[in-house]
């Protein structure tokens, strides 16, 4: 039997799909798994004994990938886009399991109710319910050898357990807590712990607005190096973004600061806790692109005092 797992969403979404991989392998030990995701899966999912098929979502590539996946017998599809549904439909895979809220859900032979009230891990695992799975493995997991972690820490002159990772950035600006709040947090925590700021190369301009004593690694790490830095951290503090899920998949506690999004969408930390946005317009959207009120009040609704109260529980 050959399984296809298709998750071409963002980094954090792929991390939260690792329980799908683990549960399929646990219940169908003789089956093979083909995982389709964005090119970063080659680094992120290193250590999993599965076949990885990177997909950049190009038009020509969308046609060619159909022939590569049609060898599978069962498709498990947590991604809900129209492109995904079309490719899965044209593949001719015999059994195609997806969510009822997916675009063009008619292509799926089994449609599973998509429930926002569940954590994303639980929600994804619901896709396996038609297969009479007996044992579910619910913990996200990424593989990182101790030697690799030590090499990364040496490169960036860090000592395990002595620093806190702060990620103030996101692919969605409405998920970013305000800079002044981060600055106050950095100042308070920096009295006792080294602060390491992480982010993408595209975040470098925004990082210039941060103040205080910290190690700025924004845009300076590969994905595997970021994983090593997170693995050695005492705590990760982040917007609603992938470092939270990477941390949990490596056994590190994380705190999410919510702005326009909400824990009600099911992407909260499984190890750690979150600071909920108290604005009366919350929740807004899982991936908000525009403030519906035009006030952006959610970006400042969470106070530094609220975040520090959570931080103190872990430090």
Q: Domain residues for 96?
A: 2-131
Out of 131, 166, 184, pick the residue that ends a domain.
Answer: 131
Q: Is the pLDDT of residue 294 over 80?
A: no
Place of tokens 């992407």: 267
Percent of the chain surpassing pLDDT 90: 90
Per-residue model confidence (pLDDT) at position 281: 79
Q: What is the mean pLDDT of the chain?
A: 95
What is the pLDDT at residue 296? 80
Asked whether residue 279 falls in the same domain as residue 163, the answer is yes
Mean pLDDT of 239-257: 98
Same domain, 18 and 117: yes
* pLDDT tens, position by position, 86-135: 999 999 999 999 999 999 999 999 999 999 999 999 999 999 999 999 99
Q: What is the pTM of this model?
A: 0.96
Whether residue 196 lies inside any domain: the answer is yes
pLDDT score at 185 = 97
Residue 222 confidence (pLDDT) above 90: yes
Residue 65 lies in a domain: yes
Domain total for the chain?
A: 2
Q: How confident is the model at residue 16 (pLDDT cuts 50, 70, 90)?
A: very high
The pLDDT assigned to 298 comes to: 81
Compute the C-alpha angle 202/210/223, nearest 5°. 40
Specify whether 67 is located in the same domain as 107.
Answer: yes
The tens digit of pLDDT for each residue in 123-178 reads 999 999 999 999 999 999 999 999 999 999 999 999 999 999 999 999 889 999 99
Same domain, 110 and 162: no
Q: Is residue 138 part of a domain?
A: no
Is 247 a residue whose pLDDT tops 80?
Answer: yes
**What is the predicted pLDDT for the residue at 285?**
77
Tell me, what's the pLDDT at 295?
76
Report the distance separating Cα 267 and Cα 306, nearest Å: 20
**79 and 156, same domain (yes or no):** no
The answer to whether position 139 is within a domain reads no
pLDDT at 289: 77
- Judged against a pLDDT cut of 90, whether residue 283 lies above it is answered with no
Show Cβ contacts of residue 113 under 8 Å, excluding neighbours closer than 6 positions. Answer: 99, 100, 126
Task: Please tell me whether residues 67 and 157 are part of one structural domain.
Answer: no
- 3-state per-residue secondary structure call for the chain: CEEEEECCCCHHHHHCCHHHHHHHHHHCCCCEEEEEECCCHHHHCCCCCCEEEECCCCHHHHHHHHHHHCCCCEEEECCCCHHHHHHHHHHCCCEEEEECCCCCHHHCCEEECCCCCCCHHHHHHHHHHHHCCCCCCCCCCCCCCHHHHHHHHHHCCCCCCCEEEEECCCCCHHHCCCHHHHHHHHHHHCCCCEEEECCCHHHHHHHCCCCCCCEECCCCCCHHHHHHHHHCCCEEEEECCHHHHHHHHCCCCEEEECCCCCHHHCCCCCCEEEECCCCCCCCCCCCCCCCCCCCCCHHHHCCHHHHHHHHHHHC
* Model pLDDT, residue 292: 72
| Claim to verify: residue 153 and residue 298 sit in the same structural domain | yes
Q: Is pLDDT at 6 greater than 90 in this prediction?
A: yes
pLDDT digit string (tens) for 253-270?
Answer: 999 999 999 999 999 999
- 308 and 176 in one domain? yes
pLDDT at residue 122, rounded to an integer = 98
Q: Does one domain contain both 151 and 298?
A: yes
pLDDT digits (tens, 9 = 90+) for 41-89: 999 999 999 999 999 988 899 999 999 999 999 999 999 999 999 999 9
In this structure, the answer to whether residues 168 and 293 fall within a common structural domain is yes
Point out the domain boundary residue: 62, 97, 131.
131
What CATH number did the domain enclosing 122 receive? 3.40.50.2000
Residue 228 lies in a domain: yes
Name residues whose C-beta falls within 8 Å of residue 191's C-beta, 6 or more positions apart in sequence: none
């Amino acid at each position: 039997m050959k399984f296809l797992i298709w998750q071409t969403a963002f980094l954090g979404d792929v991390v939260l799909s690792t329980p799908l991989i683990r549960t399929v392998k646990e219940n169908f030990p003789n089956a093979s798994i083909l995982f389709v995701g964005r090119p970063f899966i080659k680094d992120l999912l290193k250590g999993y004994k599965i076949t990885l098929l990177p997909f950049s979502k190009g038009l020509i590539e969308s046609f060619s990938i159909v022939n590569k996946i049609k060898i599978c017998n069962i498709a498990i599809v947590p991604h809900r886009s129209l492109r995904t549904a079309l490719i899965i439909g044209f593949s001719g895979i015999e059994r195609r399991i997806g969510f009822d809220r997916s675009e063009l859900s008619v292509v799926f032979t089994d449609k599973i109710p998509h429930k926002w009230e569940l954590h994303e891990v639980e929600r994804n695992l619901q896709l396996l319910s038609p297969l009479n799975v007996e044992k579910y493995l619910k913990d996200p997991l990424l593989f990182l050898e101790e030697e690799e972690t030590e090499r990364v820490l040496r490169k960036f002159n860090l000592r395990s357990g002595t620093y806190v990772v702060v990620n103030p950035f996101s692919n969605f600006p409405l998920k970013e807590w305000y800079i002044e709040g981060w600055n106050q947090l950095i100042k308070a925590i920096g009295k006792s712990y080294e602060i390491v700021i992480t982010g993408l190369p595209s975040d470098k301009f925004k990082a210039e607005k941060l103040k205080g004593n910290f190690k700025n690694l924004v845009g300076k790490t590969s994905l595997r190096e970021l994983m090593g830095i997170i693995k050695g951290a005492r705590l990760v503090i982040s917007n609603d973004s992938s470092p939270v899920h990477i941390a949990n998949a490596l056994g590190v506690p994380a705190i999410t600061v919510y702005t326009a999004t909400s824990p009600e969408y099911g992407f909260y930390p499984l190890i750690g806790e979150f600071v909920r946005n108290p604005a009366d317009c919350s929740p807004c959207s899982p991936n908000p692109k525009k403030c519906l009120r035009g006030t952006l009040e959610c970006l400042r609704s969470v106070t530094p005092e609220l975040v520090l109260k959570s931080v103190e529980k872990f430090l």
